[in-house]
Amino acid sequence: MGARIVMGAAFLVFGLNGLAHFLPMSEPPPKAAAFASALASTGYMIPLISLTQIFAGALILGSVAVPLALVLIAPVLVNILCFHFFLDPAGIGPGLVLAGCWVFLVRAYWSKLRGLLG
């Protein structure tokens, strides 16, 4: 339950922040800023990623269709980890925590995910 709350709340809050910009953010390194700017310039990627985070976070937090949410959020989580690993290593900590929560939840819901991931 703890992993569900941490992961669901994080994706819900950060997804909402992607749309409403209510959390202060530090200045990212130049390559990270260029990547974020490129995503924003498309006009659809940031809203799409944010809405995916909100939807998956709400499902996980509400314990509704958690296996579906875990599958939906996996590519977002991979990108978070790659973004920080390659462009902003100092900020990788929260991504690693969320990846740990994801692995824990995949194991907990393995019987429902086995056909898809196994």
Q: List, for residues 66-88, the tens digit of each pLDDT value.
A: 999 999 999 999 999 999 999 99
Mean pLDDT of 78-105: 96
Q: How many domains are there within the chain?
A: 1
Of 34, 41, 105, 46, the residue nearest 76 (C-alpha): 46
Buried b (16+ CB within 10 A) or exposed e, 20-56: eeeeeeeebeeebeebbeebeeeeeeeeebbebbbbb
What are the angstrom distances between the C-alpha of 14 and each of 7, 42, 88, 107, 114? 11, 20, 17, 24, 29
pLDDT value at residue 116: 83
Query: Distance from first CA to last CA of the chain, Å, rounded?
Result: 24
Higher pLDDT, 1 or 67: 67
pLDDT tens profile 41-60: 999 999 999 999 999 999 99
Measured CA to CA, the distance from residue 50 to residue 36 in angstroms comes to: 13
Task: Give the range of the structural domain holding residue 66, as residue numbers without chain letter.
Answer: 2-21+28-117
Is it the case that residue 118 has pLDDT exceeding 80? no
Angle of CA points 81, 83, 89, to nearest 5°: 80
